[in-house]
Chain A
Amino acid sequence: MQTTNDVTFGVTDPIFEIRNASVTFDMERGTSRVMDSVDMNIQRGEILGVVGESGSGKSMFASALLDAIPDPGQLSGEITFRPESGEEIELLQQSESEIKQIRWEEIAMVFQGAMSSFNPTMTIGDHFEETLDVHGYDVDDGMERGRDLLSELYLEPEQVLHSYPHELSGGMQQRALLAMSLLLDPEVLVMDEPTAALDLLMQRSIIELIRKIGQQRDLTIVFITHDLPLVANLADRLGVLYAFEFVEVGPANDVLTGSKHPYTRALLNSTPNLHTPREEMRPIEGKSPDPVSVPDGCTYHPRCPMSDDNCVAADPPFQAGSGATDHQAKCHYIDDVNEAVPLNLREVHNE
């Protein structure tokens, strides 16, 4: 067996340290483990992209970062938050009121489908003022910041502040929401599928704005999506979720061009994009597991073309194989993956 794995993933200044975090729901059919002993470090100031199929646990991971798992879900493990100024905060040990203060002020979140969560009877300006007021911020200063944010997002501040949500297009609503999430100057912004309901051109435009704003404000951004290409050129590092746990973590570039996990490779080979020859695209065979009964050993073994008895018997730890330690995957045969599951995109380049 391997030595205990190093799950710092090369992160030197972690703003988040997540250890052994699990989320369970008790269901009639048994216990549903929708996040399974997750370890992760998030580097201060980075953009971490989190990708995975529908149901893989992306939203659970996002909610865990704010200790906001929906009832009756149970979150266990350790989540340490290290704000720029001050001491370490054990998130799961905070009282409800302490957590409420941390949310939005230090860790802001744009939830999946949040566009519809604007109150239809309030203008965007009302929403901004309420947010400032509830958190005890100076409203005039805050609105000034809000106006700046709106124009940085290519919105006409006065017009948008006076508008009701339905008077704005989807893309404008989404940018107004982004401005609102940054109103209290948080250190971390967690975004769960923030652009999924928008058309591609708007999604790409918003991604570029997020990148720019993140840089200007030294924000740490966790960007969650099922759409790998969307974060491919945005994220500094990528974490790939499969069956309720990370199976690969590393610098975005390395994960995309030299994926160490067979699942990541299957995901890349099945993603429609203009650069891969059509005849080489492949759907992923099989189905992702049910959280009530995940397969023994490596959870990917029923779908993995490389699986053998060892994979069925033992759950592989994170490891780097012969490569750099900041890039790791949960697979017994990391060094064989390149040959066994070739990446289509690379072949295009080698021509």
Chain B
Amino acid sequence: MSSDEHVVSLQDIEVHFETDTGIFGRDSDIVKAVDGVSLDIEENDVVALVGESGCGKTTLGKTAIGVQRPTEGQVEYRGQDIWEARDSSGSSSIPFKQIRQSLQIIHQDPGASLNPNKTVMHTLSVPLRATQPQMTTFDRRERIHEMLSRVGMEPPEAYSKRYPHQLSGGEKQRVALIRALLMNPDLILADEAVSALDVSLRIDMMDLMLELQDQFNTSYLFISHNLSNASYVAGEADGRIGIMYLGELVELGPVDEIVKNPKHPYTKALMWAAPSLDPNADADPSSPLRTIDVPDPRNPPSGCRFHTRCPEAREACKNDVPGELAVDGHTDHTVTCFREDDHHDYWHSPELDEVSTDEADTAASD
């Protein structure tokens, strides 16, 4: 497949930031927020990125929509290098302005993303003016009312006159979704777009996103720390889930593969944390992780970055860096862990000592 069939293609992306605060070791001031990630997003695709806070999900997402410049690697929109388009000021085959318009974002905080002093009508007129400058005021109003009804904000005439503080969290998020869709984007980055909503409203919002996807031909890059939300939204759309840990994509595959046949020990830990309503589920109450906190990203562990927390870690994991492997010969399901390689030294290597001393103390006092 040639790369211009992808809406967005990320190749070997690295995004490194300089920092200088914190209580941890100061050997390094560079945070490798994203460290060597490749990912293609197709038309009408849904990819959900899942991981803990600080694992680089948002940075990768912003890189994919061209608002974060990578320190290394390439981001292409329909085969056009986004940053080349930006730097060439107009001479590229697809102008930067058009690229940015095609790649939209919905933020986590539904309130903060809307201007508190503007009515819903005003907020939603902006994208229409940009994409369809010839449209008459009357048609614009009709279109906005139609969209508001579409997302269940009835009567639209009343809702369009409201200010953000007169809307519930779910309603604000709907307005943000409409605003993004009215730009006619090819890809919407939904960064924790449902996390701030009440649990009971999340399904509703995700259903709405998917329903409108069909109509608008949009792809979603959906970011969440919640594997249940991710698997719902990506599952309905036959999409994929990518698991991120400390700047790396450690597992990627079709939703059902990831949920039913998770391979990376970190993915399994995220499954453990996923909400379960089943009181009889034979879930182990204690965390599978060896330590609770994510290591300082400025000083990531050697070898496999997960080895300090991984329940399956062995000596080999401390030194060698695992590469990406296809799971059971499926090219669409990949994992970055030695356990997928039957012949790796890992299997002959001794298990790591139990948890570090301070935790051993607490464990002993139980």
Chain A interfacial positions (CB closer than 8 Å to B) = 53-54, 151-152, 154, 156, 159, 163, 166-172, 198-205, 208, 211-212, 226-230, 232-233, 252-253, 256-257, 266-268, 270-276, 278, 281-284, 345, 349
Contact = CB atoms under 8 A, between A and B. Distances in A.
19 contacts: A53-B200, A151-B358, A152-B365, A154-B358, A198-B53, A200-B225, A200-B227, A208-B287, A229-B199, A229-B276, A233-B285, A252-B279, A256-B278, A256-B279, A273-B275, A274-B274, A278-B236, A283-B200, A345-B277
B11 interface: no
A54 B169 contact: yes
A291 to B, nearest CB: 14
A205 B292 contact: yes
A199 B255 CA distance: 20
Given A154-B292, A169-B294, A228-B199, A272 B232 contact: yes
B267 to A, nearest CB: 11
A267 B285 contact: no
Contacts of A267: 199-200
A283 B207 contact: yes
Contact of A274 (B52, B259, B285, B289): B259
A201 B52 contact: yes
B293 A275 contact: no
A282 B203 contact: yes
Most chain A CB inside 10 Å of its own CB: which residue of B21, B169, B235, B276: B276
Contacts of A345: 277-278
Given A202-B52, A227-B199, A278-B235, A272 B287 contact: no
B23 A159 contact: yes
Interface of B: 21-23, 52-54, 168-169, 198-204, 206-207, 225-229, 231-232, 235-236, 259, 269-281, 283, 285-287, 289, 291-294, 358-359, 361-362, 365-366
Name the residue among A163, A230, A275 with the largest chain B CB count within 10 angstroms: A275
A213 to B, nearest CB: 11
B278 A275 contact: yes
A188 B182 CA distance: 51
Contacts of B270: 200-201
Nearest to B275: A229
A170 B206 CA distance: 27
A152 B276 CA distance: 26
Nearest to A54: B198
A271 B199 contact: yes
Given A154-B362, A212-B366, A278-B232, A172 B273 contact: no
Contacts of B200: 53, 226, 266-267, 270-271, 283-284
B287 A274 contact: no
Nearest to B194: A272
A270 B235 contact: no
A317 B153 CA distance: 34
A146 to B, nearest CB: 14
B294 to A, nearest CB: 7
Contacts of B362: 151-152, 154
Nearest to B286: A208
Contacts of B229: 272
B291 to A, nearest CB: 7
Contact of B274 (A166, A170, A200): A200
Given A256-B277, A271-B200, A171 B232 contact: no
A193 to B, nearest CB: 11
A226 to B, nearest CB: 5
Nearest to A211: B285
Contacts of A53: 198, 200
B166 to A, nearest CB: 13
Contacts of A272: 199, 202-203, 206, 226, 228-229, 232, 275
B165 to A, nearest CB: 15
Contacts of B277: 228-229, 232, 256, 268, 271, 273, 275-276, 345
A276 to B, nearest CB: 7
A167 B22 CA distance: 5
B53 A170 contact: yes
Contacts of A169: 53-54, 293-294
A18 B226 CA distance: 36
A253 B281 CA distance: 11
B279 A202 contact: no
A253 to B, nearest CB: 5
Given A272-B228, A283-B207, A199 B52 contact: yes
